Amino acid sequence: MAWSFNVSSVTIMVLCILLLFFMMKPRLPIRLNFFFVAFALTEILTLFTDILSSWMDMHHELFPVWSLYLSNGFYFLFFIGRSFCFLAYTMALFGPSSGKVGKALQRLVCLIFLGLELIVVSCPLTGLIFSIDRDLGYRSGPFYNLIYFALYFFLLLGILYAIREAKILNPLQRYGLFLSCLAVAAGGVFRILLPHILVMNSFFMLAVLSLYLAFENADLYMEQRTSAFNYQTFEKVVEERIYLKKDFWMCSVMVRNFSEAREIYGGEQMDAAIGLVSEFLRRSFRDMTVFYDINGCFVLLGPPGTDSRSVREIVQARFKEPWRAVNTDVHVDLVYAEMASSLRFRDARDVVECVRRLMEAAAQSPDTDFILMDQEMMDSIRHSFRVRRALNRALEEGTLLAYFQPIIDARSGEVVGAEALARIQDPEIGMIPPGEFIPLAEKNGSISRLGELMFRRVCAFLHKYDLEAYGLEFINVNLSPIQCKDQNLAELFRSIMKEYDVSPEKIHLEITEEALIEEAVLHAQMDRLIEAGFSFALDDFGSGYANQFRLKEYPFTGIKLDMKIVWSHFKRPDSLLPNTVETFSNLGFYTTAEGVENQEMSEGLRDMGIVYLQGFYYAKPFPEEAFVAYIENQRAERQVEEERVD
């Protein structure tokens, strides 16, 4: 007994210290943490009441009957509660992933738990589990074994639940859960083998310890610099709110010029300033949970019905002042973003993605300091998310398509070339135009892969069809400004051409004005590609800032006039476009007009001296087979016409 008492008091002390540490650190407002505290607390109370009731039972003649009922009653309540808390913990751990069956099981378990506790409470009247005899003291009741049933039923179910669902955990968590299951199982076995020694409690302490180290240690969830919760935990909390059908309120507080400010003030000062922002948010909004993502982005999760306006005003007022960090006044721009309360999210992933995209949108809008995310914005964010997924899929599976739009010789009216244009045919969204996915690919770096695939498609086309036999002189391929920075591009193109046994003279590379920004890089790139045998056309002239003087510096052979300046001329004709075309011709560039949509444009542009025409008046971009069929058809019609003239 003395040994048991010593072990038990050490166990109580260890658990108290653990709980104290746990309570001192910030905690995520999730059920898991609630049941962890409940598990550790019921363990301490079970031990305490066990020692107390055993001692009182031994000296029962000294105590009134009601006090013996109380001490024994509480012991049994906590005894059952402890194993129930272990089960509830594992259930909370996997709650959202266990679906409807999980929910029904949870209800059933709660009912059994309440029933058992009720039986314990009724003991002074029924004596089912125990009773107190005025002379003999404590006596076991006819249903005493229900206590063991509760112990083994809850523990076994908890272990089974953990085994079944553990696949969604990371290795450390799985290890911690395994250890805690092992500990409670060993505790259960020892209880049968050595019922009078209080060793089971020590095993339960080991279980609490394992859970703490694997799941509950706050350092796992905190962003060290800011003492806010890290962004991964945001999904966890939202997931539970949605699972429990609990409403919530959200807003995002972002430092817009984060990278710029980091360069101006230095890393140490910015980290300190972000720490101050975090502290301010946590102090000002105590009923909210503050999460920190990278680059100065915070998310606040609050209760439904939060007064949005007052939160916004408090934040905006504070950001007007500098943040005094490491003896420096750090001034940063605020972007405050809020979700309209009418928004409905599908799941936690949806919320997390929407907030992420919202942050990206905020970073790119230099003029606003307040964004209200409404349904329209959310739909467009969702759409761009789906496009992103489709893009990844198309590049991974190599299902990116090349469409071909005919380019017409303005004088003869014959198809002499084509522009290859990228398309994605996605099973979810359908046909996606490049205007939607090229900017995304440029942002996430996959444009190199996309460019390579498109180049392959064109080479495969050139390998398959004899261009000359179809009267075609060239195929245009678009290059992104990002691709232009790749020093190995010429080498890559060379090796692909070798693979398909095609020569570069038939390939014209189109680059837009944006690529002209990095002059030296582009010059070197163009030189390498020209050496490899390609020629260049400037795409979309007139849509940006390029002018005739700058173009002289680059080895372009052709200029493609953007459809906007073509359309603008035919809306309000003046001498601007004809003069531009004439200047380019005099400088030795061939010109192509884009966006030719009707006969008037076609004739007007030809009379201006434009060399090539491209536009819906002739044809929209086609898939490969349709494009070939179109040319064959055109040639057949022309032949019939020539024969008729003859």
List for the chain the helix, strand, coil content (%; round to 5).
Answer: 60, 15, 25
Q: Does 514 bind Mg ion (CB under 5 A)?
A: no
Binding partner of 434, given ligand C2E, Mg ion, none, CB within 5-8 angstroms per partner class: ligand C2E
The correct pick among 616, 629, 633, 636 for binding ligand C2E (CB under 6 A) is 616
Q: Does 539 bind Mg ion (CB under 5 A)?
A: yes
Cα–Cα dist 132/65, whole Å: 7
Q: Does 417 bind ligand C2E (CB under 6 A)?
A: no
The correct pick among 124, 127, 141, 434 for binding ligand C2E (CB under 6 A) is 434
Residue 462 C-beta: closest distance to ligand C2E, Å: 15
Q: Does 513 bind Mg ion (CB under 5 A)?
A: no
Would you say 554 and 522 are in contact if contact means Cβ atoms under 8 Å apart? yes
Of 502, 496, 503, 493, the residue nearest 526 (C-alpha)? 493
Residue 585 C-beta: closest distance to ligand C2E, Å: 21
The correct pick among 264, 314, 401, 438 for binding ligand C2E (CB under 6 A) is 438
Can you read off the two tokens belonging to residue 352? Answer: 């997390």
Residue 449 C-beta: closest distance to ligand C2E, Å: 11
Of 69, 46, 48, the residue nearest 120 (C-alpha)? 69
At 96, the amino acid letter reads: P
Residue 429 C-beta: closest distance to Mg ion, Å: 23
Instruction: Restricting to residues 78-137, name those near Mg ion by CB under 5 A.
Output: none
The correct pick among 49, 83, 614, 634 for binding ligand C2E (CB under 6 A) is 614
β-strands 415-426, 430-432 pairing: antiparallel
Q: Does 593 bind ligand C2E (CB under 6 A)?
A: no
Q: Does 540 bind Mg ion (CB under 5 A)?
A: yes
Residue 560 C-beta: closest distance to Mg ion, Å: 5
DSSP state of 212: I
Binding partner of 29, given ligand C2E, Mg ion, none, CB within 5-8 angstroms per partner class: none
Residue 318 C-beta: closest distance to Mg ion, Å: 47
At 251 the three-state DSSP class reads strand
Among the residue ranges 134-142, 432-440, 463-471, 627-635, the one whose residues contact ligand C2E (CB under 6 A): 432-440
Four-point Cα dihedral 361, 362, 368, 372, nearest 10:
80
Among the residue ranges 149-157, 284-292, 496-504, 593-601, the one whose residues contact ligand C2E (CB under 6 A): 593-601
Among the residue ranges 80-88, 326-334, 506-514, 584-592, the one whose residues contact Mg ion (CB under 5 A): 506-514
Of 602, 460, 481, the residue nearest 546 (C-alpha)? 481
Which run of H or of E encompasses 177? helix 171-193
Find the helix packing angle between 563-571 and 599-608, rounded to 10°: 100
Would you say 392 and 412 are in contact if contact means Cβ atoms under 8 Å apart? no
Q: Does 592 bind Mg ion (CB under 5 A)?
A: no
8 torsion bin: left (phi>0), alpha (psi -120 to 50), beta (else): alpha
Would you say 272 and 257 are in contact if contact means Cβ atoms under 8 Å apart? no
Q: Which lies closer to ligand C2E via its Cβ, residue 106 or residue 392?
A: 392
Q: Does 435 bind ligand C2E (CB under 6 A)?
A: yes
Q: Which residue is nearest to ligand C2E (CB)?
A: 615
Q: Does 421 bind ligand C2E (CB under 6 A)?
A: yes
The correct pick among 81, 95, 604, 615 for binding ligand C2E (CB under 6 A) is 615
The correct pick among 154, 595, 622, 627 for binding ligand C2E (CB under 6 A) is 595
Residue 575 C-beta: closest distance to Mg ion, Å: 23
Of 447, 504, 527, the residue nearest 480 (C-alpha)? 447
Residue 419 C-beta: closest distance to Mg ion, Å: 6
The correct pick among 355, 410, 422, 610 for binding ligand C2E (CB under 6 A) is 422
Q: What is the 3-state secondary structure (H, E, C) of 461-514?
A: HHHHCCCHHHCCCEEEEEECCCHHHCCCHHHHHHHHHHHHCCCHHHEEEEEEHH
Cα–Cα dist 567/145, whole Å: 89
The correct pick among 353, 510, 513, 514 for binding Mg ion (CB under 5 A) is 510
Per-residue interface string for the shown chain with ligand C2E, residues 539-578, x marking contact by CB under 6 A? xx----------------------x---------------
The correct pick among 269, 478, 580, 634 for binding Mg ion (CB under 5 A) is 478
DSSP state of 384: H
Binding partner of 615, given ligand C2E, Mg ion, none, CB within 5-8 angstroms per partner class: ligand C2E
Cα–Cα dist 47/39, whole Å: 12
Of 426, 504, 442, 505, the residue nearest 479 (C-alpha)? 442
Q: Does 594 bind ligand C2E (CB under 6 A)?
A: yes
Q: Which lies closer to ligand C2E via its Cβ, residue 129 or residue 566?
A: 566
β-strands 289-293, 323-325 pairing: unpaired
Of 228, 118, 214, 101, the residue nearest 166 (C-alpha)? 214
At 163 the three-state DSSP class reads helix
Binding partner of 3, given ligand C2E, Mg ion, none, CB within 5-8 angstroms per partner class: none
Among the residue ranges 168-176, 394-402, 531-539, 627-635, the one whose residues contact Mg ion (CB under 5 A): 531-539
Binding partner of 275, given Mg ion, ligand C2E, none, CB within 5-8 angstroms per partner class: none
Instruction: Restricting to residues 244-273, name those near ligand C2E by CB under 6 A.
Output: none
The count of chain residues that interact with ligand C2E, using the rule CB under 6 A, is 24
Would you say 605 and 566 are in contact if contact means Cβ atoms under 8 Å apart? yes
Cα–Cα dist 426/91, whole Å: 39
CA 99 vs CA 370, 422, 503, 518, 642: distances in Å: 38, 41, 59, 54, 73
CA 69 vs CA 60, 117, 128, 386: distances in Å: 11, 14, 13, 64
Among the residue ranges 48-56, 282-290, 317-325, 431-439, the one whose residues contact ligand C2E (CB under 6 A): 431-439
Q: Which residues bind Mg ion (CB under 5 A)?
A: 478, 510, 539-540, 594
Q: Where along the sequence are the contacts to ligand C2E (CB under 6 A)?
A: 405, 421-422, 433-435, 438, 451, 454, 478-480, 510, 539-540, 563, 594-597, 614-616, 621
